[in-house]
Structure 1
Amino acid sequence: MTWLVVGLGNPGPTYAGHRHNVGHMVVDELARRAGESFSAPRGMRSETVETRLGSAGIGVVAPGAEKVVLCKSRTYMNESGVPVGKLAAFHRIEPSHIVVVHDELDIDFTQLRLKVGGGDNGHNGLRSIRAHLGTGDFARVRFGIGRPPGRQDPADWVLSNFPAAQRTDLEIEVDRAADAVELLINDGLPAAQNRYNS
């Protein structure tokens, strides 16, 4: 069975470093580990990498390794469900084999939480995916970005870059989130939750 790992974010260099784009950063790290570059399959409105993942790691073709499609949407966040729906249909991927990596305001920076299902908590990317799949029962790797200080509008907060002081921690957290995706696929959700939902 093929897995689809979706990193949420907005396309283009303007948005690349934003808090809202941590999903893109995580799938970029997974592609780097696999030694693969993204390409844009015709009609899919996304950039994808097809690779393998097993106990020997990502990008290693070995017995028991699962096929994994990494995805970055070429649509804006509020239309994330369009490419997810297209890729899921094309590769015949069930929602139970979809992992969505996204920013989460209600979790502090340097924290991760993994779960299946639940509400979209005002996240337009999750709302769109739920609408296109007809269910919210997919796995989420929730990457904490924390709430904005004072009275700053959350919309401005998510569409701003991480400050220089957080860059080192950001690299560590992107790495940890990529590890969490690998563990979730290899060992299942409970094992990944035990390690990362601390």
Structure 2
Amino acid sequence: MTIVPMTLAARIAASRLAPLPTAIATTLRPLFLGVQVKTHPGRIDVADVLAGDVFLPPMIAISVVAADPSVEIAGDCSVLAECCAYVVSEDMAIGNRSTGRDQVALAMCQGVADVLTDFDAPRWGLASITSPAEIRIRPLFTQLSFEKGIAFYATTWRQRLFELGSPMPLPMATERLYTIEDAAEVTLWPTEGVDDGDDGEDGP
């Protein structure tokens, strides 16, 4: 493989990581009725949630918060993406009863985890991607944010994306390769210009 110059548009088109958050959000959105599902570039801090109107509950924000590339064979690599579904909730009147923000958030997180354990859905419509692993739910809110009426949780997981780059061609043999068939030596490489014992005549 030879590294060649690429335009930014070409790199975006070739990227496996770039479309991942949108693909996840697109899959989750119709599965969470009444919940805003969006993408977010990077990690979300409690201060971000309290600062303004960007994170209006109930909401799920999808981010790829880390990525670890790994070389499989020369010229070919995969990348392990660490994904996060940030969940913001508040106390809600659901049906004829009041439901606490922590119950709402945990139910939303469990809903994300349920999707992640499905066979087809967490492929997000992408090719060459593993099933989610290391699924984890944890609270991120502080006492201050809870007092202000917000619960802030995260569901995290990891997925590996394959087929990045172009594998290098296999090394060329530098000496004759052969096998034995019917007690006769048959040349495997090179296949031209080498006498393998057959003179091309049909007679005995």
Range into which the TM-score falls when normalised by the shorter chain: under 0.3
Taking CA–CA contacts closer than 8 Å with sequence separation of 6 or more, which of the two structures ends up with the larger relative contact order? 1
Give the structure with the larger strand fraction.
2
> In terms of Rg, which structure is larger?
2
**TM-score, scaled to structure 1:** 0.26
Give the structure with the larger helix fraction.
1
